[in-house]
């Protein structure tokens, strides 16, 4: 998995990013390396993402109220009690099926910036991180290697985060042979991300009880794709094939 942390840094560290990417390629299960790549390539220019969020009506409301998305997504019982076919119910079923929890990314996201991060920026970065698996459900990309690669391409189109772009480029370059179709899926993911509404500013809490198909239509993400999943032992969370 990968989402934009949106954490500023005084300088980029390309060698650190490349070393972390190499570790990631050797062990796609090491989700922490995703955050290390993103952190190493973050810089002050990344606050454009936060500025865009803050400039939207929904972003301004969310910044005012600062709801904690992680708390909502961690209430598995409430989610599974929602009507079948709703975003919340489907998300709860997805998390149960994958044997993961909403706070699973928090432990992996242990890297810190070398500059002071304002509280509103930190809140936004955490919210963006925590909505990653919701994007899985909405787009229809699964947590297999190919699905993660496609979702990262979708995410890069939405956020233009340098670290995510580097990981997608590596996954695209390494996809070949029996999984060469992954390149088509990544290109499709990028196109879907460009054409969709801007997901970082969505008020997800208000959409959980909506039918999933209505959410997909509202967000203009298109229909979920059909593809052959590629799993590695332990259901890894990164596409570095």
Per-residue pLDDT of the chain (241 residues; tens, 9 = 90+): 445 444 444 566 655 655 655 555 666 656 665 656 557 567 654 688 999 999 999 999 999 999 999 999 999 999 999 999 999 999 999 999 999 988 866 554 454 445 567 899 999 989 999 999 999 999 999 999 899 999 999 999 999 988 888 888 888 888 878 889 999 999 999 999 999 999 999 999 999 999 999 999 999 999 999 999 987 753 333 344 4
Output the pLDDT for position 24. Answer: 55
Q: Is residue 236 part of a domain?
A: no
In the chain, the DSSP E strands lie at none
Output the pLDDT for position 117. Answer: 77
Calculated CA dihedral for residues 86, 87, 92, 97, nearest 10 degrees:
90
Q: Determine the Cα–Cα distance for residues 140 and 18; give it in Å rounded to an integer.
A: 30
Q: Is residue 36 part of a domain?
A: yes
DSSP conformation class of 99: T
Q: Is residue 30 part of a domain?
A: yes
Work out whether the CA dihedral 92, 205, 39, 220 comes out positive or negative. Answer: positive
Q: Is residue 208 part of a domain?
A: yes
Output the pLDDT for position 30. Answer: 61
CB distance 153 to 193 below 8 Å: yes
Note down the domain range covering 82. Answer: 14-219
Q: Is residue 40 part of a domain?
A: yes
Q: Is residue 6 part of a domain?
A: no
Q: Determine the Cα–Cα distance for residues 15 and 38; give it in Å rounded to an integer.
A: 12
Q: Determine the Cα–Cα distance for residues 24 and 27; give it in Å rounded to an integer.
A: 5
Q: Is residue 229 part of a domain?
A: no
Number of separate domains in the chain: 1
Length of the chain: 241
Work out whether the CA dihedral 153, 32, 137, 57 comes out positive or negative. Answer: negative
Q: Is residue 4 part of a domain?
A: no
């Amino acid at each position: 998995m990968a989402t934009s942390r949106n954490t500023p840094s005084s300088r980029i560290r390309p060698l650190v990013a490349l070393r972390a990417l190499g570790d990631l390629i050797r062990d796609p299960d090491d989700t922490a390396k995703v955050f290390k790549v993103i952190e190493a390539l973050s810089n002050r220019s990344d606050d454009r993402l936060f500025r865009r969020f803050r400039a939207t009506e929904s972003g301004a409301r969310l910044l005012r109220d600062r709801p904690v998305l992680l708390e909502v997504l961690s209430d598995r019982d409430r989610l599974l009690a929602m009507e079948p076919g709703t975003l919340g119910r489907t998300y709860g079923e997805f998390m149960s099926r994958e044997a993961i929890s909403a706070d699973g990314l928090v432990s992996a996201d242990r890297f810190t910036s070398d500059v002071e991060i304002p509280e509103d920026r930190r809140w936004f970065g955490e919210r963006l991180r925590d909505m990653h698996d919701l994007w899985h459900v909405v787009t229809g990309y699964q947590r297999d290697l190919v699905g993660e690669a496609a979702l990262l391409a979708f995410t890069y189109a939405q956020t233009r985060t340098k670290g995510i772009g580097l990981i997608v480029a590596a996954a695209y370059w390494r996809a070949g042979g029996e999984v060469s179709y992954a390149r088509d899926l990544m290109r499709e993911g990028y196109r879907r991300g460009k054409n969709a509404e801007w997901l970082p500013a969505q008020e997800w809490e208000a959409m959980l009880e909506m039918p999933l198909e209505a959410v997909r239509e509202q967000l203009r993400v298109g229909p979920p794709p059909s593809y052959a999943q590629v799993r590695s032992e332990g259901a890894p969370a990164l596409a570095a094939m």
